[in-house]
Structure 1
């Protein structure tokens, strides 16, 4: 299928190039008089040919696609903007909105009959994770989550919305839980002679602020938010995985290696990417399938920024990890994380 599609694409591109060059030659070379006009005409004819070839290439790719499965990667911490956190604790991931855009682009592409979500993430923010899950659920066709190294917390929140979950034997899967965190700097502030002065409207507006001790009421309030997120997480998994409420809660936010995750129903099968493709080929009633990676376009500055984040992680992970975790949904200084 792929070879014949590529041949057809090449023929369409060549035909488009020939037609565009022919039209350009007539308009810019044959009709004008004078050597300078003809020289310029040749240039314009070549440009017309290039534009025609590009248009024909897009038409050919759409009409004679050489793939039938779309793959979208979810890698690194899951955040709205793709950042790794307030401090360089980890390299940044792909922005959640970009991942959603790629899933929707695959859904709009008639050639993409199935979707593979390749997951290698420790988790991240709650709502961006849910946005990705919803986009995958709306995909019109079979959806498969493929866990590579890590599919934890927010990553599993996403995966549980797919039709099937594959993992490797060495994959780390699970962590169905929510964590809230804050830096208690009240003691340090006292030593430095700093005093927290409250100017706020609303009793719980500054709950979790690091420069003051937390009251019992504030702790109960924030724990209630965490419990609410946890209940939502459990509901997502029980609905998507056909597991009982008790089975999900019994995991107690543990992570599992592939074999154990399979035995308790967190994943459907263990296998390599090749085996995932073979399984999808069976579902699509094809002898073999081709997969195309849908990726957001990145300019030069974005690529350089990604490299600098990796360097920052290598240089600053030690001290940064002692000070801050992954970004989560936040209430003032208090963070909520799916990890």
Structure 2
């Protein structure tokens, strides 16, 4: 009796087709995004409107890193420039700051807060998931703060903690050779234990920054300095708690913030997004990163969705 041969499925060829198709789609997507990006992203992204919309997202720093592996950060230099640009525009009646940040460096936060204070426009802050520490400092510089009941805010305080590796060096028979021209030049070095005197000096500096922070918040929020000092122990408050403490003005979101601006200025708000124009290099970097991720995700999904055992596809 003649045996019936079972046809063999060319699994390798099937995967090759899948990968080729994904690569082709990624190439088309890349070219399309590149063409659009060159004409849009490299220009000043600023729609016409009477309310400037400026986002403050991520850690606040004086200058954000650029490149493929950069993290999202709020660049104070660029944000100050956008504030000044909006302030100079006669068509802009108010500025809405969309904040979603855990805070940042003291200097960068101070720069943004004081740029807001100097602006001759009505200003409002819309805090989303977080507007804590330096980001809260920035928010207090506006005329009105709106936050979600579950928003994390407050966290008035200063931190400068670090890890010491002195014990690790000793464990591996390594040593720290101290060569300085000033007694406190290497104060805060992680390779040696901080002396009591050095710790006092560092703490004095932190306390001074905290005092500047408190004074600014008290002035901006029109609260007694003693009241702010009582809540300035570094803890965060939910939006609903912050409202009771007078740290914010209103519970809500974007709609409430825009409604307040409309009532204050007697206008129908039309938001115009102000943001840094991206360079061609940044556009190419973002397109490459996004498409590489999507390509890898597509290939991975194909492997997960189709489990092949001895030429037989098993679906779950």
TM-score range, shorter chain: 0.7 to 0.9
1:108 maps to 2:85: no
* Conserved 8 A contact 1:169-1:257: yes
Can you give the 5+ residue segments of structure 1 that lack an aligned partner in the other structure? 1-57, 313-339
**Contact 1:75–1:93 (CA<8 Å) still a contact in 2?**
yes
Q: 1:81 aligns with which of 54, 60, 63?
A: 63
Any gaps of 5 or more consecutive residues in structure 2?
A: 1-43, 294-316
Alignment check: 8 A CA contact 1:74 1:119 kept = yes
Shift of 1:95: 1.5
**Partner Cα separation in structure 1 for residue 219 and residue 123 of structure 2:** 16
Higher relative contact order (CA 8 A, sep 6+): 2
Aligned counterpart, 2:159: 179
| Correspondence 1:293 to 2:278 | no
Gap change, CA 1:66 and 1:270, over 3 Å in 2:
same
Q: Does 1:269 align with 2:269?
A: no
TM-score (norm 2): 0.72
Q: Report whether the alignment pairs 1:209 with 2:209.
A: no
| Change over 3 Å in CA distance of 1:170–1:303 after alignment to 2 | farther
Whether the 8 Å contact between 1:115 and 1:139 is mirrored in structure 2 is: no
What is the alpha-carbon distance in structure 1 between the residues aligned to residue 114 and residue 255 of structure 2?
26
Partner in structure 1 of residue 38 of structure 2: none
Aligned residues of 1:69 and 1:116 also touching (Cα < 8 A)? yes
| 1:13-58 Cα distance to aligned partner (Å, 9 max, x none) | xxxxxxxxxxxxxxxxxxxxxxxxxxxxxxxxxxxxxxxxxxxxx9
- What is the CA-CA distance between 1:215 and the residue it aligns to? 0.6
Using structure 1 for the length normalisation, give the TM-score: 0.68
Runs of 4+ in 1 over 4 A off after TM superposition: 303-309
Aligned position for 1:257: 238
What SS is found at the alignment partner of 1:130?
Answer: helix
Give me the whole-angstrom Cα distance separating, in 2, the residues matched to 1:301 and 1:256: 40
**CA offset at residue 120 of structure 1?**
0.6
Pairing of 1:218-229 with structure 2 (within 5 A)? 218-229=198-209
Q: Report the Cα offset of residue 82 of structure 1.
A: 1.6
